[in-house]
Structure 1
Amino acid sequence: MKRAVRPLVLVVVLVALGITVHFEASVDAQGAAYATGVLVLVSSVAIAVTISARRQRERGKTILFSCVSLVFIYTTIANRVERPDGLKIAAFFIAAVLLVSLLSRFRRSTELRATSVMFDTQAQDIIQQATSDGLIRLIAHEPVNTSKERYVHKHEHAILASHIPVHAPVVFLEVRVSDYSDFAQDIDVRGVTRHSQWVLEATAPSVSTAIAALSMAIRDQYEVMPHIYFRWTEGNPLLNLAKFIFLGQGEIAPLTREVLREAEPNLQRRPWVHVG
């Protein structure tokens, strides 16, 4: 929690220092900027109340609050035109928030984001049945095409590219991206049998971190070493990296390996990542 709050504290301190330097520590000179902030806040509140009254079909209040909103909007615009310092400070504050947010998200992009991993009854049965020789083979599969032909093709490719024994049991692992703004959440894993194939389904803010967390949970709860099989992602690697940072998708294989490397320093206990 402290690491999550720290960037916001840095932004507030940075903006406060910037304002102090810009106005040469003069309280009187900051009056116009302060007034702009207050006017924007009051205007927003007036508009919100107007919308609320309109939704409740209160005609009289809607007209009254609309007039009040127009007055505050006009005053805010006039204040900004005469003294644009408030707008400059707002732009500086927004830029600082965006910059620090991007740096923070980039630095923490490979953290293990799962607060817990829970397997339902069918998922537990699948894991136990798929375990052989002290390991379990997980094939990462994007849950866009769930046809029988796609599963068969993905399995055959893993056999050819990663030399999985033909008759070895495998489990398909599918992660759907939820709200990526949620940095961490509990991951509930559901087990299903689709087209005679074992599938583990989960929803998480990030595919790579979810796969890493799930594989480590299987290792710890079932005392079996997971082997995860990926295909290389097509496309520009820099674009795929940006997709991972902002959307939780992208170059899944190397990022999963990096998340595992940071989460588990002991190489002997780290789940294996295969890419072909």
Structure 2
Amino acid sequence: MSDPNHSQHAKSHQTFWLWAMCLTGVDYFSTLGYQPSIAYEAAGKLSPFATLVVVLVTLFGAFPVYSYVASKSFRGLGSIGMLEKLLHGWVGKALVMTLLGFAATDFVITKTLSAADASEHIISNSFWPFGSESLGHDKQRLLLTMGLLVLLGGMFLRGFAEVIGVAVVIVIIYMILNLIIIGTCLIHLIAHPEYFTLWLKDVELGGEHWHLVDAPQLPFSGIAAIIVLSLLLFPKLALGLSGFETGVAIMGIIKGDESDTPDNPKGRIRNTKKLLITAGLIMSFFLISSSLIVSTLIPAENLIAASGMTSASAKDRALSFLAHGESPSIHIFPFGSVFGTMYDLSTVSILWFAGASAMAALINLVPQYLPRYGMAPEWSRAVKPMVILFTLVNLLVTWVFNADVSAQGGAYATGVLMLILSACVASVIEVYRSRKGAFLARVPWYFALVTISFAYTAFAVIIEKPEGMKIGAFFIGAIFISSFVSRLLRSTELRFLGFEFVDDHSRFLWETLEHLEFPVLVPHRPGRRELLIKEAIIRKEHRIGPEVPILFLEVSRGDTSEFYQQPLLEVEQFDDRFILKVSRCSSISHVIAAIALELSKFGSPPEIHFGWSDESTLSANLSFLLFGEGNVPWMVKELVSKAQPIAEKQPRIIIG
């Protein structure tokens, strides 16, 4: 049953969906700072067509999938939380940890790439006091990017309050300035159609006029070649799909209807879908229009560095290049150094805030899973240690990529696409399980087609730019190794959250047993021997008289991959014998130790009698770590000693 006070507290921190969209927008919309340039670098004069594919995939692929995710994972855990519910056991945990690795890739590269592009806008501004002759353009960008990342980490160390109002102001100003740039350029194109005609002529001529780098050679030309190349080049533009995972991750702060309940927040789900489609439509317009004006009004040599040149003046800052009036194709009010500087300040603000949003998402995501799995120390729930750790990782990634925006594009796209792919897979599994009938009737074919499309896109990005997979593999490997070590080190924690009871009768009997004296507790494995036979053997081998009452304990395992456990307890009485039947256990040793300690609270601690095991020590320890059983007597002894330091109150362990 949900806590009404908690529910009321949560509602007090919720906000109008349009304002919440701005929190997503600092990540999603900020990609306009570099996306038009990356699109041209990837697709040349065909970038408007390839961008159109991105828009179609956004509206008809990502949006339907994430709308479904929002309806099923409405507590803000996104596709990872959805898959966690669908897949249990170690397979589910391994998949979650793998996706956490890609999520870390996404959020870390969001921070480093955003800071790098912010630095590019700063040092390319005409008012920047340090010339490139002193340290060099790349060196200045690297140092400035690292400085911004350290500043970001310092802000979080002092405490970061997630104020949506700041995001709203930053996003509104940034989008208005982008609208002015794009609107002015579109009006200029209408007044001077020769620029559009020249671009169209280059498109028709094809070949070298497209300014494609590393494009596949096709045996045909014309419209068919444009369509095929746009589809093939689309994965390189996949950065334009970011923002949807963040959109469902912030569902908890979106205000719904007064009639919403914690288990059925229809209003919040509906408003989240409004957020997703509105953000998608806005971004679609800006992606298409920015790609068009960049392709028509900025010369290719300003976007793609010529042979022997280290950089092009509009690279990673195409819209800023136009805003400063640097393009020879357009000199018109309000473009110039003043307006360009205003745009740069706005761009730097939203890019830096995008890094802040990514940092907040990352330090909120990890504690949701790994500590609960026993795969991270409890200090990982604290903000400051995680901020220091991720800041160091950010600096390392920035140094590896030399703060180059384009070089990090593939890694960013890999993280984004793997999260979207996980949402697609989760949606397919969820819909399939919810339907009845034959296999073909249960398969959600539309979602399956979208899943195949994103799988192709992710595979294409990984093949062409494997650095994203390398970074993802690094994070995944680090998570798996640290998780195994943490689980090993925390194996002697009691991790007991109390019992749930089958019925009130079992609760009553348990509370009665807690106040009775049962000097002997005997774990009994159901199915091995009849209870009466087991009792006779125990009394004979352990020399227990018939007058001594024995409390039998039957423990059955549940999901052994879980760390914390709240077992289900049923108490049965046969004549003068009591049997505790405990199910839904992740570890047999921990349950036995917990029951013995509970029975020790109100009376003398019981003796726990075990039989000998023929299992080897190594096999027993591995069975304990992976399957929740093995080495039981020794583990119970260790758990009891750690949980109850007073020797007189510790249950005795007897093996015979």
Normalising to structure 2: TM-score of the pair?
Answer: 0.36
- Residue equivalent to 2:38: none
Shift of 1:80: 1.4
1:141 is the counterpart of 2:524: yes
Distance 1:259 1:50 in 2: 43
- TM-fit CA distance, 1:68: 4.1
In 2, Cα distance between the equivalents of 1:232 and 1:20?
57
1:120 partnered with 2:502: no
The one-letter code matched in structure 2 to 1:247 is: F
Q: Which residue of 2 aligns with 1:214?
A: 595
Check 1:184–1:68 CA distance in 2 against 1; reply closer, same or farther (3 A cut).
Answer: closer
SS in 2 for 1:40: helix
Measure how far apart 1:242 and its partner are: 1.2
Specify which structure has the higher proportion of strand. Answer: 1
Amino acid at match of 2:509: Q
When structure 1 is superposed on structure 2, of 186-195 and 199-208 the one drifting more is 186-195
Q: Deviations over 1:53-99 (max 9, x none)?
A: 77779x9xx66555544433322222211111111122222211111
Letter matched to residue 633 of structure 2 = A
1:198 aligns with 2:571: no
1:208, 1:248 within 8 Å by CA — same for their partners in 2? Answer: yes
**Aligned equivalents of 1:18, 1:215: Cα separation in 2:** 49
**1:185 positional shift:** 3.3
Q: 1:21 to 1:161 in 2, by over 3 A?
A: farther
Structure 2's unaligned 5+ residue stretches are 1-366, 372-376, 501-505
- Asked if 1:240 corresponds to 2:627, the answer is no
Q: How far apart in 2 are the matches of 1:137 and 1:242?
A: 29
Question: 107-116 or 1-10, which moves further after superposition?
Answer: 1-10
State which structure, 1 or 2, has the greater radius of gyration over its C-alpha atoms. Answer: 2
Shift of 1:266: 1.0
1:33 match: 411
Work out whether residues 207 and 248 of structure 1, in 8 Å CA contact, stay in contact via their aligned partners in 2. Answer: yes
Spell out, residue by residue over 1:214-234, the C-alpha distance to the aligned partner (whole angstroms, 9 max, x if none): 1111111x3232111011222
CA displacement 1:112-154 (0-9 Å, x = unmatched): 121225762234555666x3xxx52111112343x53xx2333
Q: Secondary structure at the match of 2:581?
A: strand
Aligned mates of 1:112, 1:72 — CA distance in 2: 43
Q: Is the 8 A contact 1:123 1:191 kept in 2?
A: yes
Is the deviation greater in 98-107 or in 72-81? 72-81
User: What does the per-residue CA deviation read over 1:143-180, in whole Å, with 9 as the maximum and x for residues that have no partner?
Assistant: 343x53xx233323323433222432211111222223
Instruction: Give the CA deviation at 1:194.
Output: 4.9
For residue 266 of structure 1, what is the aligned residue in structure 2?
Answer: 646
Q: Tell me the equivalent position of 1:226.
A: 606
> Which residue identity lines up with residue 522 of structure 2 in the other structure?
I
Of structures 1 and 2, the one with the larger relative CO (CA 8 A, separation 6+) is: 2
Query: TM-score by structure 1 length?
Result: 0.80
Q: Distance in 2 between matches of 1:159 and 1:51?
A: 52
Q: CA separation of 1:216/1:272 partners in 2, compared to 1, >3 Å: closer, same or farther?
A: same
1:3-152 aligned within 5 A: 3-4=377-378, 6=380, 9=386, 13=390, 16=394, 19-49=397-427, 65-117=447-499, 120-125=507-512, 131=517, 136-145=519-528, 148=530, 151-152=531-532
Structure 1 residues 226, 21: CA separation in 2 closer, same or farther (over 3 Å shift)?
farther
Determine if contact 1:15/1:92 at 8 Å carries over to the other structure.
no
CA distance in 2, matches of 1:216, 1:73: 51
Q: Structure 1 residues 233 and 23 mapped into 2: Cα distance closer, same or farther (>3 Å)?
A: farther
Residues 236 and 7 (structure 1), Cα distance of their counterparts in 2 relative to 1, 3 Å cut: farther
Q: Note the alpha carbon deviations across 1:2-34, whole angstroms, 9 max, x for none.
A: 844618949x73865663454345443221111
Residue aligning to 2:351: none
SS at match of 1:176: strand
SS of aligned partner of 2:563: coil
Amino acid at match of 1:215: A
> 1:7–1:104: 8 Å Cα contact kept in structure 2?
no
Structure 1's 68 and 139: CA in aligned 2 closer, same or farther, altered over 3 A? closer
Structure in which a larger fraction of residues adopt helix = 2
Moved more, 202-211 or 262-271: 202-211
Q: How far apart, in 2, do the equivalents of 1:152 and 1:259 lie?
A: 29
Distance 1:71 1:206, change over 3 A: closer
